[in-house]
Amino acid sequence: MRRCVRELLVVLATVGVGCGSPDANPAASTSAPLSRAAEPRDVYRPPADGRVTVAQVEMFLSVLDRVRLNLRGERPTPGSDPLSSVPADVAAARARGVNVEEFLWVKERVLEAEAATMTARLNASALTMLEKTLADLKARRADAADEGSRKLLAEQTAQFEAEAERVRRESKVRESDAVRSNMKTLEPYRSRLAAAQDALEKPR
């Protein structure tokens, strides 16, 4: 199933700043700080079943809250640099001492589950609209005054019925057990996720 999701990233960052101190050893005075690529990466082994826990959802939301506060200037991440390429949520995760690799894995699962939920809702709305349109077309066809009008309405009805059948087939496609489990886990947090997303997209 095609999934379209909106990324929740903004460009903020933490960048280490260092300078060499005078030393008899020339190498010491010209040494540069380690690049981000040279920094040790967090290690995280995702669960085999691909399911997020309530604790991981709470962790994810706490990082988004930190990003929101950073954007509003209420609690800037120490050492943040607007010119850095480090995503804002990664910088916030590091500042909170969160395992970045785990955070990114949870983020992928959240976006995956949210996309599945959105698709299901869109399909349900589309099907409701199509069924109402079909009922109207059939009623108009029954009351049509001439054969030409009835033929035109019959053609339109066939087109809408084909589209309705396509939506029904798509709606019957089952998500994986992991995605459906994550959708259920995220359900109590849906309002908080929506509020966090809105705050990140429209910072005040």
The pTM (predicted TM-score) of the whole model is 0.68
For every one of its 204 residues, what pLDDT tens digit does the chain have, with 9 covering 90 and above? 444 434 433 333 332 333 344 444 444 444 444 444 445 688 999 999 999 999 999 999 999 988 888 777 655 555 455 555 788 889 899 999 999 999 999 999 999 999 999 999 999 999 999 999 999 999 999 999 899 999 999 999 999 999 999 999 999 988 999 999 999 999 999 999 888 877 676 645
**CA distances from residue 187 to 96, 125, 141, 160 in whole angstroms, order as listed:** 25, 19, 43, 33
Burial class of residue 31 (count of CB atoms within 10 Å of its CB; 0-12, 13-18, 19+): middle
